[in-house]
């Protein structure tokens, strides 16, 4: 993008062709895809994200590799599931030595995955269904096969000589840590033809771009504009803390990096006001919040420190790992949002825990040394939990009710397993399991041709875990996820509300209230509901929910606070909650719409089964028309 001010373009007007200095023209005749109708600019605060590996999802041409056509073919499923935004892992040309994060051309699609036309058609279809799509933007580095690097490494005086970070010795920036400690010994690698070292924060085949060079910044802004013009709804900014280096620092989170991101936001917003920037910064909370700037940097940021603490809390059967990290998390600027997750395409990272906590996590979750990958654990959600469905439901209940927008990793909605015998991150990147048919319904290619073998073990293999079977069984995990997502969608307060921990003497109980932000005065009047709605005695209709439909079209009708109570223990637990602030309100359980006893002046008693949880709408009147607050336990 140029630095000159740009006038906002009306939506749906085809933009002028972007300058393609870096990649050359590739798009004759392709028009930008339509954007979702009636989107609100902060749609991402109410959205549920779904992370998908294109090559692992569905193979539409039976060559053994999932592709863009396959994503398109499975939009019915994704719409049925009820997700709002897909995050596509890198789909660019790549030698595939880091799962596609080693990009050799930023301006097109990997030939194995399809064409740009396929991508545009897919975006159009997704948007028509109200599903948005973001993709990885790998700004920090390229593959060593990228023509930019091939040129840069060739001599000292070629036009791209300064596009990467070169040095005569390998001693500079010694304070910068090596990220892949188990694979790389230094952030410098010797280049024979230049007789110099080049800098890389990840694998040695991924040289870092030199953002001190304005040409590099311009080239990357061209990449951004190219994909936004094509219709992408935003980016996950991969490995974003490392864009700059400076003497005497760790080379992470430098002011220069933040300044560049703010510039990117400004230029992006001028032309594409409803697109989103989601930062991948594996940092402590105090450093993480800097990626929001003053609301003028990234819209979203993954909450990395929270993730391992959810797993710690359920193993310790104590809420403190979660409440402590949330207490250390500063308030974020208006319009910003956390992205929260249980698992993703990488190992369960243990970078942001103390050494003691790391030892604990390894002792609890690493049953076989093969499970350890880089500084983390290369397992999927279900095997981490020994396949315990109640525990998985509890963790999803936390994911869907803690502050932030949840990100589901493909296959984890089925409780798919992993394959420890595959290298690096491939353990958690096996084909999506669609049916009990050949190759799990993923592809009709010969087994030997598949990009990775599907799981075939008796516990997690595709014969026992697959979409078709779970869609047919109304009590499957998949149906459970779908229905809790529908419930969540009806209460936008889960996305946008404030968060307050409710005191409780039992350490196994994690209770909190999500309130409309700013908290509604006690005079809020909720439309009275018909207590008989739904036909089951003792159930009431909904009042605190948004209008039906997708997150971005949602209208907040009435906003009552929602009380969430979770039992992190494998045994039944009593909870005495201090709900004094919500005295007189009547908790109505969200999934069944069953009203409980109103809150009185004493503590409020709830009994929870093993890994049990309740979400209650705190209504300001008793929908059953019963008397005043009751001091007793609701039983």
238 binds ligand GLC (CB under 6 A): yes
59 binds Ca ion (CB under 5 A): yes
Q: How far is CA 591 from CA 195, 400, 480, 622, in A?
A: 65, 13, 11, 17
Distance CA 480, CA 549 (A): 19
Per the annotation, the verdict on 280 as an active-site residue is: yes
409 binds ligand GLC (CB under 6 A): no
CB closer to Ca ion out of 55 and 374: 55
Catalytic pick among 222, 238, 347, 620: 238
- Rg over alpha carbons for the chain, rounded to the nearest Å, is 25
Position among 239, 277, 300, 398 found at the interface with ligand GLC (CB under 6 A): 239
Residue with tokens 């219709």: 231
Q: How far is the CB of 188 from ligand GLC (least distance, A)?
A: 17
List the single partner that 202 binds among ligand GLC, Ca ion, none, CB under 5 to 8 Å by kind: ligand GLC
98 binds ligand GLC (CB under 6 A): yes
Backbone angles phi, psi at 464, to 5 degrees: -100, -30
Query: 42-67 burial, b if ≥16 CB within 10 A, otherwise e?
Result: bbbbbbbbbbbbbbbbbbbeeebbbb
Stretch that binds ligand GLC, among 98-106, 158-166, 219-227, 248-256 (CB under 6 A): 98-106
346 binds ligand GLC (CB under 6 A): yes
Angle made by CA atoms 610, 614, 616, in degrees to the nearest 5: 165
CB closer to ligand GLC out of 419 and 470: 419
Q: How far is the CB of 65 from Ca ion (least distance, A)?
A: 4
Per the annotation, the verdict on 76 as an active-site residue is: no
Full 3-state SS string of 286-352 = HHHHHHHCCCCCCCEEECCCHHHHHHHHHHHCCCHHHHHHHHCCCCCCCCCEEEEECCCCCCEECCC
Residue with tokens 């193979």: 59
Could you tell me the two tokens for 326?
A: 């949330």
Please name the residues in contact with 66: beta carbons below 8 A apart, sequence gap of 6 or more. Answer: 53, 54, 55, 56, 57, 58, 59, 113, 431, 432, 442, 443, 451
DSSP string, 509-546: EEEEEEE-SSPPPTT--PPP--TTTTSSTT----SSPB
Position among 19, 23, 41, 99 found at the interface with ligand GLC (CB under 6 A): 99
List the single partner that 239 binds among ligand GLC, Ca ion, none, CB under 5 to 8 Å by kind: ligand GLC
Site string for ligand GLC, 128-147 (x = CB under 6 A): ----------x---------
CB closer to ligand GLC out of 238 and 620: 238
Stretch that binds ligand GLC, among 97-105, 375-383, 487-495, 524-532 (CB under 6 A): 97-105
101 binds ligand GLC (CB under 6 A): yes
List the single partner that 61 binds among Ca ion, ligand GLC, none, CB under 5 to 8 Å by kind: Ca ion
Position among 63, 125, 317, 357 found at the interface with Ca ion (CB under 5 A): 63
CB closer to Ca ion out of 110 and 488: 110
List contacts with ligand GLC (CB under 6 A).
Answer: 98-99, 101, 138, 202, 238-239, 280, 346
Q: Which residues are catalytic?
A: 238, 280
Q: Which residues bind Ca ion (CB under 5 A)?
A: 59, 61, 63, 65, 67
């Amino acid at each position: 993008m140029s630095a000159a001010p740009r006038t906002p373009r009306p939506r749906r007007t085809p933009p002028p062709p972007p300058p393609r200095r870096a990649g050359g023209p590739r798009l004759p005749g392709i028009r930008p895809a339509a954007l979702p109708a009636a989107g609100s600019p902060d749609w991402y605060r109410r959205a549920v994200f779904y992370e998908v590996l294109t090559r692992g999802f569905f193979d539409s041409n039976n060559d053994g590799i999932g592709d863009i056509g396959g994503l398109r073919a499975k939009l019915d499923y994704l719409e049925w599931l009820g997700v709002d935004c897909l995050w596509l892992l890198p789909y660019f040309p790549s030698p595939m030595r880091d799962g596609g994060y080693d990009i050799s051309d930023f301006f097109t699609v990997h030939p194995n995955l399809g064409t740009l036309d396929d991508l545009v058609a897919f975006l159009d279809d997704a948007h028509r269904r109200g599903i948005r799509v973001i993709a990885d933007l790998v700004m920090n580095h390229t593959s060593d096969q990228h023509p930019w690097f091939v040129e840069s490494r060739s001599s000292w005086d070629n036009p791209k000589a300064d596009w990467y970070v070169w040095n005569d010795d390998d001693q500079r920036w010694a304070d910068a840590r090596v990220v892949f400690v188990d694979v790389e010994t230094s952030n410098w690698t010797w280049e024979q033809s230049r007789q110099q070292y080049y800098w890389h924060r990840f694998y040695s085949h991924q040289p870092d771009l030199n953002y001190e060079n304005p040409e590099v910044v311009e080239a990357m802004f061209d990449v951004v504009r190219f994909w936004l013009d094509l219709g992408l709804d935003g980016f996950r900014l991969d490995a974003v803390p490392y864009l700059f280096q400076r003497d005497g620092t760790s080379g992470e989170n430098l002011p220069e990096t933040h300044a560049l991101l703010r510039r990117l936001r400004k230029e992006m917003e001028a032309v594409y006001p409803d697109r989103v920037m989601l930062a991948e910064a594996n940092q402590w909370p105090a450093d993480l919040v800097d990626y929001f700037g003053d609301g003028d940097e990234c819209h979203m940021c993954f909450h990395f420190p929270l993730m391992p603490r959810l797993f710690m809390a359920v193993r310790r059967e104590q809420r403190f790992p979660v409440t402590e990290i949330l207490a250390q998390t500063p308030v974020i600027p208006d319009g910003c949002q956390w992205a929260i997750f249980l698992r993703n395409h990488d190992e369960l990272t243990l970078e942001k825990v103390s050494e003691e906590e790391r030892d604990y996590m390894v002792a609890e979750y690493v049953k076989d040394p093969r499970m350890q990958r880089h500084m983390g654990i290369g397992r999927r959600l279900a095997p981490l939990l020994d396949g315990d469905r109640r525990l998985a439901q509890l963790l999803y209940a936390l994911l869907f009710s803690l502050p932030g927008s949840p990100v589901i990793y493909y296959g984890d909605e089925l409780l798919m397993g992993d394959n420890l015998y595959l290298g690096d991150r491939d353990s958690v990147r096996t084909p999506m399991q669609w049916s009990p048919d050949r190759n799990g319904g993923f592809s009709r290619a010969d087994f030997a041709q598949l990009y990775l073998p599907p799981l075939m073990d008796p516990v997690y293999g595709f014969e026992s875990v697959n979409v078709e079977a779970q869609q047919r069984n109304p009590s499957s995990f998949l149906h459970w996820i779908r229905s809790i997502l529908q419930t969540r969608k009806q209460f936008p307060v889960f996305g946008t509300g404030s968060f307050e921990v409710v005191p409780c003497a039992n350490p196994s109980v994690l209770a909190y209230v999500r309130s409309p932000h700013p908290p509604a005065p006690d005079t809020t009047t909720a439309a009275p509901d018909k207590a008989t709605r739904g036909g089951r005695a003792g159930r009431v209709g909904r009042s605190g929910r948004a209008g039906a439909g997708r997150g971005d079209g949602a209208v907040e009708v009435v906003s009552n606070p929602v009380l969430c109570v979770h039992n992190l223990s494998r045994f039944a637990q009593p909870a005495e909650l201090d709900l004094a602030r919500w005295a007189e309100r009547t908790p109505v359980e969200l999934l069944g719409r069953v009203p409980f006893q109103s809150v009185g002046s004493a503590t409020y008693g709830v009994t929870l089964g093993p890994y049990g949880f309740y979400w209650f709408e705190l209504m300001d009147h008793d929908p059953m028309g019963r008397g005043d607050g009751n001091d007793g336990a609701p039983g």
